[in-house]
Amino acid sequence: MNSTPPTPKTTDAFDRGASGCPTPQRLEAHAADPSAAPEVAGHLAGCGACQALHREISANAEFLREFGPWWRQRDSTHGVILPTDDVPGYRVLEEIFRGGQGVVYKAIQAATKRTVAIKMLAAGGFATPMQRARFEREIEIVGTLRHPNIVTIYESGSLAGGRVGFTMEYVDGRPLDEWIAQQRAEGRDSAARRPAALRGGTLMTLFRATCDAVSYAHQRGVIHRDLKPSNILVDAHHQPHILDFGLAKALGDASQRELTRSGEFMGTIAYAAPEQVRGQHGDVDTRTDVYALGVIAYQMLTGRAPYPTDGPLSTVVRNIIELEPPRPSVLNPRVDGELDTIVLKALSKDPERRYQSAAALLVDVDHYQAGEPLDARRDSLAYVVRKFLRRHRVPAVIAAAFVVVVTVGFFTTLTFWRRAVRERNEARVARVDERRQRQIAEAVNQFLQELFAGADPDSRLGQQATLRDALALAAERLEEGALQSQPDVHAALRLTIGDVFRQLGRFEEAEVHLRRALELRTAQYGSAHRQLVPVLESLARLAADRGAPQAAAESMRRAIEICGAPTAAEDAELLERKGLLAIFLARAGDHAEAAGLFSDALAAARRGRRESETPLVRLASDYGDFLRERGRLLEAEAWLREALALCRGSNTCDEAALCGALTNLGGVLLQSGDAFAARQYFEEVLTIRRAHARADHPGIADAINNLVGTYDALGDSQESAALLRDALEIARSSLGRDHPRVCWFARNLAGQLEKLGRLGESEGLLREIVAANERTYGASDPKTAESLLACAGLLTRQRRLDEAAAMQRRAAVIFRAHQLAENLANAEIAIYQSELAAGRALAAECVLRLGVIDLRRLRGDNHPSVIAALNRLWMRLNDVGRQAEALEGVEYLYELCQPWREDHPAFVANAANNLALVRHRVGDLPSAEPAYRAAIALHERAGTLSGDAIQPRVNLAILLTSLAREEEAALMFERAIGEADRRLPRWEMVRINAICGYLRCLAQLGRHELAEQIGLNEFQRAREAADAPEWVPQLLARSLADVYAEWDRPEERVAWRAIAQACETLPTDGR
Amino acid sequence: MSNAGPTTTSSFLLAALRGSDGDAWREVDRRYRGILVGFARRLGLQDEDADDVAQQTLAQFVRDYQAGRYDRERGRLRAWIIGIARHRIVDLQRQQARRRERQISYDNVEVPDEARLTAFWEEEQRREVFENALRLLREQTRTTPMTLHIFEQVALLGADPQAVAELSQTNVAEVYRIKNRITKRLREIVDELNAAYAEDD
């Protein structure tokens, strides 16, 4: 959908006359105000052509004085003069609807001959490019919805003049309200006098299909926000088709629009939820759609709205917020108590009391239609407990942790997102032994009631209680013998407590409870019963969290063995466990078995695709991440794109899997250096999570944190810091001050603040983290050591070297005691840098050598960490001019890392680059060149797109320049600079090196002027940019001096040398 | 350019109607239906009811005319149609009040006085003319969407011609030419359309 600019015409009456005639704009200015263009008056007197033109212009102006205001006052939907036949590729048949946002046409797509609807939006020329881009992206997301009851969007695009629109499925139907009115008028449903007839009738079937569609969209992170009968078309087969899904958001918040446009307000406020009319737009989520579904159901059943919606606005708003609607059965005797329950629950004023999702509503509609007991009634137990906890002012975190126990009975999953899926699965399994589950839940509830009731009001669990206190108290009660007679309940609680401790990072306590849960269940059911599986899975996750992947793999393997040959329904979970096992194995270093397991599981998942795409998507996504971790970025990206395409193309894939695929794909792209592309996926995850969860859910903080990575990669610290501040607030309010994730966000924020030069704030945060870790883990814990290192790093960079070194040594001692090789290496690098900064070169070298020894002791000779440590040592020697030793070292090292060629090509590539670099330095240019080329090839194979991949190109180009192969070199520089411009921050060292090398190369080629132009331009930018480090202008000035030397312009050469010297120190980079 | 719209004046049209000419009936329909619907909406009717009122009014108008009840000397054509429409609207409201079918605010809407009704009609007629003029402009002039967009931005929205020229990748002189050329064409179409209603009042 493109347009071409108008071709200027030359035969028009408004063309300029003979030369010397005023331009149309001057004539127009004169027509509007003769004094504005005095020279025109003189000309007019003597030019007949211009007189005629002037008359036309005046007449036009008079006409527009009437027409313009009329046109502007028209309904804004007419804002665009829309020629109905200018949608390329479509033949427009007729206008079928004009509404709040635009106009809808019925049209035929020329290529396919299918009938479509085209919706053109009013914003047109007013929309900024960013708004349009946003709109198109939203449409793209919404366009992935494929559900028989959602009107499918085919494509979107821009037309001439920046108008935007999209094409969608054409539905030959009537709006739901008309359909209801007609049904009632015809009395079609009045034949059914008994509730039983209502149960399976057209009405409920239609409503069920509507819920199913909304639920489907919710699972993809799309909220409607403007559900109402006029947005639901009913076709001749009584099938609903929902329109405009998710568009309310794409087009600006629907409810906000309604509130500002009184003309349209009355029509839709009837379906607005209390949180919407209160203007709490932040609270609009899936439950807002649930509410609208409630109103629609009410209307379908009773023929009227739940509250009067005519009369003054303030009254209507008050009704919505305060008035409890009469039970539907009062207005329609055919409605029974169960339907009352469903509708009224959907219509709860408090979103917390509503069905939490359309899926939950759907489940109860299904229960109702099948004559089964409703979840709505069952849920009241959870509600009672929540109320209870709130009344007793138990902190929200504790309440949240325990409510899960009450509603589900188990709390075994890693993340909220997986939990949602799990809840559904377990609900399915739970139906089998539902009675027992309920008994357990009730017993747990009773236990909690006693626990908290006994503690209130002046107890150990007062208002200041932390989750840890609550868990400890619960554990104590269990130790004292509570629930001894009910091992089921006891085990469920132990499992929960263990899991919560694990998530708090208190692994030792977690282990105690999980082991106890395992004992209890083993004693009750034997050692091979399925009841052991969730416990084993939790133990596996615990081991993984503790950095013991072998133990994790063992537990998971046992869990999988117990599952044995799964039934079809259990297949999905088994596959998920296999995926986890593969991840653990990979972490334990058993890549071959992990890869084998992945490929088996992927094959099984492909076979089971008819059931659900979810397992396949999740496995492909995990496998992609596995590949990413091993540096195989291109393959990883391919797998992840496949996972994403599968997920988007299916309606059986859940949002957790979608978010997983999006996050992992973003991760690969980010690691590949394509932060822009990564951002798009992380943003989508954030959108989905915001749509699904409470505003302070930690999952949202995670999503924000991922997004920050993309801003960070592009050097946008301002934005990164702002986002991280949000993430930190969210995490703090839901997880408490000391939680590991809170510390993680705080640490990232500290990093960004440092980049922004806000050192005091940064240090404050880092010291808080140290204190938090000391409180949580103790003073000798590796976690505490990590935070010490982070804090010391900041001090080093502030040249507070002694303070820093003290912290770093403390950290090294802790890591050595725990035999944590890589952490120890990091601490040693930190000490090395401190020594170097303090000018103690010999001490620095000693630390490096000590590091090699430490790592060899812990990891053996052939480990990547050892190679990395050796690399540091050799490159250090190279830097200080001890090339002979360095050369020997890097050659040895290159040999040493050959076994990693397949699995870690990027790693070997860096070794090749360093080998070449040292050869280059010692003047062995002929053997440096092939080593650089090997590095380039290896990076290409690895798909590396970061600065590492550009480095050998730049080095090789410099080498070629010195070999007088300038043409070749220039091409290589150009490619390197092009890639750096796309992938890296402007002032990245490798990019500046490339530019400086390019300048010299151009000068050697005799293209002095071009070199001068590029050099001056870049120098100017570096001087003007606030974020350019000092060494950038210095290097550029030095290169410019070289250019002038080559050009034989000695005065400029001298001047630029002086400028270069005036700049400060060059950074001491390890490379 | 010719045939911009209805060029037959009302008296010719009425003469044709007397001879039960199908084309004349269609022309009356085309000329007044849109105005009548808008007029009825202004008096508070829902879309469907407004459509009904327009249909009934037009039918009655033709019946009355063919029965010779309209006397040009006694009043204007416009006032006559307004009179019919007004009766239909009041009828409809009475029916609905009797049925008490919907609690919509019809009861509160009083039919405005003669002068207001005439003003409503004139506004609706103007709207009809302008809307039709835009449609005809699109249908009859060989203009690209971009040209229309430029016209809309500069002539109707008062956008800066320089900015529009840049956005449309053309020059300012061309933007002015487009503005004047399209405005002139639109003005001519409006004049032609208005001419058809000239004898109504």
Q: What is the pLDDT of residue A1071?
A: 32
Is A24's CB within 8 Å of B153's CB?
Answer: no
Instruction: Return the top range by mean pLDDT from A42-51, A140-149, A689-698, B179-188.
Output: B179-188
Q: Please indicate whether residue A966 or residue A277 has the higher confidence score (pLDDT).
A: A966
Residue B5 lies in a domain: no
Is A25's CB within 8 Å of B176's CB?
Answer: yes
On the question of pLDDT at A393 being above 60, the answer is no
Q: A296 vs chain B: nearest CA distance in angstroms? A: 19
Confidence band for A257, pLDDT divided at 50, 70 and 90: very low
Total domains in chain B come to 1
Is A70's CB within 8 Å of B187's CB?
Answer: no
On the question of pLDDT at A109 being above 70, the answer is yes
Is B159's CB within 8 Å of A28's CB?
Answer: no
Q: Please indicate whether residue A767 or residue A496 has the higher confidence score (pLDDT).
A: A767
Half-sphere exposure of A617 (CA within 13 A, CB side): 26
Q: B70 vs chain A: nearest CA distance in angstroms? A: 33
Q: Residue A588, Cβ neighbours under 10 Å: how many?
A: 18
Gyration radius (Cα) of chain A, Å: 35
Instruction: Return the top range by mean pLDDT from A133-137, B56-60, B75-79, B113-117.
Output: B56-60
The residue-averaged pLDDT of A224-246 equals: 85
Q: Tell me the whole-structure pTM to 2 decimals.
A: 0.43
The residue-averaged pLDDT of A497-514 equals: 79
What gap in Å lies between CA A202 and CA A181, rounded to an integer?
14
Is B167's CB within 8 Å of A162's CB?
Answer: yes
Helix or strand run (H / E) with residue A726: helix A717-735
Q: What is the pLDDT of residue A1011?
A: 93
Q: Please indicate whether residue A168 or residue B108 has the higher confidence score (pLDDT).
A: A168
On the question of pLDDT at A387 being above 60, the answer is no
Query: Which residue of B127, B134, B155 is in closest CB contact with A64?
Result: B155
Query: Cα A894–A900–A903 angle (5° rounding)?
Result: 150
* Percent of chain A's residues with pLDDT above 70: 76
Residue A906 tokens, joined = 């990027």
Instruction: Return the top range by mean pLDDT from A646-650, A789-793, A854-858, B50-54.
Output: A789-793
Q: What is the pLDDT of residue A811?
A: 92
Question: ipTM score of the complex?
Answer: 0.82
The residue-averaged pLDDT of A100-120 equals: 77
Residue B4 lies in a domain: no
**Domain residue extents for chain A:** 24-73, 76-169, 173-372, 375-564, 945-1071
Confidence band for A992, pLDDT divided at 50, 70 and 90: very high
Residue in chain B closest to A14 (alpha carbons) equals: B177
Q: A73 vs chain B: nearest CA distance in angstroms? A: 11
Contacts (Cβ under 8 Å, ≥6 apart) of A429 = none
On the question of pLDDT at A451 being above 80, the answer is no
Is B184's CB within 8 Å of A56's CB?
Answer: yes
On the question of pLDDT at A141 being above 60, the answer is yes
Residues 114-143 in A contacting B (C-alpha not used; CB under 8 Å): 124-125
Interface membership of A8 toward B (CB under 8 Å)? yes
Query: What residues in B contact A71, CB-CB < 8 Å?
Result: 130, 156
Instruction: Pick the residue of B142, B147, B151, B177 with the most A CBs within 10 A to test the interface with A by mutation.
Output: B177
**Interface size between A and B, measured as CB pairs under 8 A:** 112
Instruction: Pick the residue of A11, A14, A72 with the most B CBs within 10 A to test the interface with B by mutation.
Output: A14
Interface membership of A16 toward B (CB under 8 Å)? yes
Q: Does CATH place domain A945-1071 in 3.40.50.720?
A: no
Confidence band for A515, pLDDT divided at 50, 70 and 90: very high
Gyration radius (Cα) of chain B, Å: 21
What gap in Å lies between CA A383 and CA A391, rounded to an integer?
12
Four-CA torsion B179, B181, B183, B188, nearest 10 degrees? 180
Confidence band for A932, pLDDT divided at 50, 70 and 90: very high
Query: Which residue of B104, B147, B149 is in closest CB contact with A125?
Result: B149
Interface membership of A12 toward B (CB under 8 Å)? yes
Give tens-digit pLDDT for A684-698. 888 887 776 667 677
Query: What residues in A contact B179, CB-CB < 8 Å?
Result: 60
What gap in Å lies between CA A708 and CA A689, rounded to an integer?
16
Q: Is A233 helix (H, G, I), strand (E, B) or coil?
A: strand
Q: Is A152 helix (H, G, I), strand (E, B) or coil?
A: coil
Residue in chain B closest to A22 (alpha carbons) equals: B173
Is B156's CB within 8 Å of A64's CB?
Answer: yes
Query: Which residue of A15, A70, A163 is in closest CB contact with B130?
Result: A70
Domain covering A173-372, topology: Transferase(Phosphotransferase); domain 1 (1.10.510)
On the question of pLDDT at A232 being above 80, the answer is yes
Q: What is the pLDDT of residue A534?
A: 84
Query: What residues in B contact A70, CB-CB < 8 Å?
Result: 126-127, 130
Confidence band for A130, pLDDT divided at 50, 70 and 90: low
Of the ranges A271-285, A355-369, B57-71, which one carries the lowest mean pLDDT score?
A: A271-285
On the question of pLDDT at B88 being above 90, the answer is no
On the question of pLDDT at A240 being above 90, the answer is yes
Q: A173 vs chain B: nearest CA distance in angstroms? A: 17
Interface membership of A35 toward B (CB under 8 Å)? no
Q: Residue B119, Cβ neighbours under 10 Å: how many?
A: 13
Contacts (Cβ under 8 Å, ≥6 apart) of A93 = A105, A106, A107, A108
Confidence band for A5, pLDDT divided at 50, 70 and 90: very low
Is A161's CB within 8 Å of B148's CB?
Answer: yes
Confidence band for A959, pLDDT divided at 50, 70 and 90: very high
Interface membership of A333 toward B (CB under 8 Å)? no
Confidence band for A875, pLDDT divided at 50, 70 and 90: confident
Please report the DSSP string for A331-355 in residue order: H-TT--HHHHHHHHHHT-SSGGGS-
Q: What is the pLDDT of residue A742?
A: 85
On the question of pLDDT at B23 being above 50, the answer is yes
Is B180's CB within 8 Å of A60's CB?
Answer: yes
Q: Please indicate whether residue A13 or residue A190 has the higher confidence score (pLDDT).
A: A190
Give tens-digit pLDDT for B133-144. 888 887 776 667
Q: What is the pLDDT of residue A484?
A: 74
Interface membership of A309 toward B (CB under 8 Å)? no
Residue in chain A closest to B165 (alpha carbons) equals: A5
Of the ranges A182-191, A533-542, B139-148, B170-179, which one carries the lowest mean pLDDT score?
A: A182-191
On the question of pLDDT at A788 being above 90, the answer is yes
The residue-averaged pLDDT of A68-86 equals: 55
Order across the sheet with A90-98: list the strands. A90-98, A102-109, A115-121, A164-169, A153-158
The residue-averaged pLDDT of B19-47 equals: 78
On the question of pLDDT at B193 being above 50, the answer is yes
The residue-averaged pLDDT of B64-79 equals: 71
Q: Please indicate whether residue A553 or residue A8 has the higher confidence score (pLDDT).
A: A553
Residues A1032-1065 as b/e (b if ≥16 CB within 10 A, e otherwise) read bbbbbbbbbbbbbbbbeeeeebeebbebbeebee
Q: What is the pLDDT of residue A447?
A: 62
Q: Please indicate whether residue A900 or residue A297 has the higher confidence score (pLDDT).
A: A297
Q: What is the pLDDT of residue B99?
A: 56
Query: What residues in B contact A3, CB-CB < 8 Å?
Result: 144-146
Phi-psi region of A1005 (alpha: psi -120 to 50; beta: other; left: phi over 0): alpha
Interface membership of A1013 toward B (CB under 8 Å)? no
> From residue A1035, how far is each of A366, A801, A989, A990, A1028 by CA, in Å?
71, 28, 10, 12, 12
Query: What residues in A contact B130, CB-CB < 8 Å?
Result: 67, 70-71
Q: Please indicate whether residue B161 or residue A1 has the higher confidence score (pLDDT).
A: B161
Q: What is the pLDDT of residue A1008?
A: 92
Residue A254 tokens, joined = 């629907």
Interface membership of A263 toward B (CB under 8 Å)? no
Residue in chain A closest to B140 (alpha carbons) equals: A83
Average pLDDT across chain A, whole number = 77
Query: Which residue of B103, B156, B181 is in closest CB contact with A71?
Result: B156
Residue in chain A closest to B124 (alpha carbons) equals: A70
The residue-averaged pLDDT of B36-48 equals: 82
On the question of pLDDT at A1051 being above 80, the answer is yes
Is A72's CB within 8 Å of B183's CB?
Answer: no
On the question of pLDDT at A437 being above 80, the answer is no
Q: Please indicate whether residue A406 or residue A497 has the higher confidence score (pLDDT).
A: A497
Q: What is the pLDDT of residue A738?
A: 79
Give tens-digit pLDDT for A17-60. 445 788 878 888 888 888 877 788 888 888 888 888 888 899 99
Residue A803 tokens, joined = 């303070």
Helix or strand run (H / E) with residue A96: strand A90-98
On the question of pLDDT at A719 being above 90, the answer is no
Give tens-digit pLDDT for A286-311. 788 899 999 999 988 888 889 887 76
Confidence band for B9, pLDDT divided at 50, 70 and 90: low
Interface membership of A162 toward B (CB under 8 Å)? yes
Q: What is the pLDDT of residue A903?
A: 77
Q: What is the pLDDT of residue A961?
A: 93
On the question of pLDDT at A1055 being above 70, the answer is yes
The residue-averaged pLDDT of B164-168 equals: 72
Is A67's CB within 8 Å of B130's CB?
Answer: yes
What gap in Å lies between CA A36 and CA A34, rounded to an integer?
5
Query: What residues in A contact B186, CB-CB < 8 Å?
Result: 63, 67
Query: Which residue of A3, A9, A59 is in closest CB contact with B145?
Result: A3
Q: Note the CATH architecture for domain A375-564.
A: Alpha Horseshoe (1.25)
Q: Which CATH number fits domain A76-169: 3.40.250.10, 1.10.600.10, 3.30.200.20, 2.120.10.80?
A: 3.30.200.20
Q: Is A108 helix (H, G, I), strand (E, B) or coil?
A: strand
HEC profile for B43-112? CCCCHHHHHHHHHHHHHHHHHHHHCCCCCCCCCCHHHHHHHHHHHHHHHHHHHHHHHCCCCCHHHHCCCC
Q: What is the pLDDT of residue A519?
A: 93
Query: What residues in B contact A9, CB-CB < 8 Å?
Result: 177
The residue-averaged pLDDT of A837-863 equals: 83
Provide the residue range defining the domain that includes B60.
Answer: 10-197
Query: Which residue of B146, B161, B176 is in closest CB contact with A160?
Result: B146
Query: Which residue of A23, A64, A83 is in closest CB contact with B138?
Result: A83
Q: B71 vs chain A: nearest CA distance in angstroms? A: 34
Residue in chain B closest to A9 (alpha carbons) equals: B174
Query: What residues in A contact B147, CB-CB < 8 Å?
Result: 6
HEC profile for A534-594? HHHHHHHHHHHHCCCHHHHHHHHHHHHHHHCCCCHHHHHHHHHHHHHHHHHHHHCCCHHHH
Residue B49 lies in a domain: yes
Confidence band for A568, pLDDT divided at 50, 70 and 90: very low
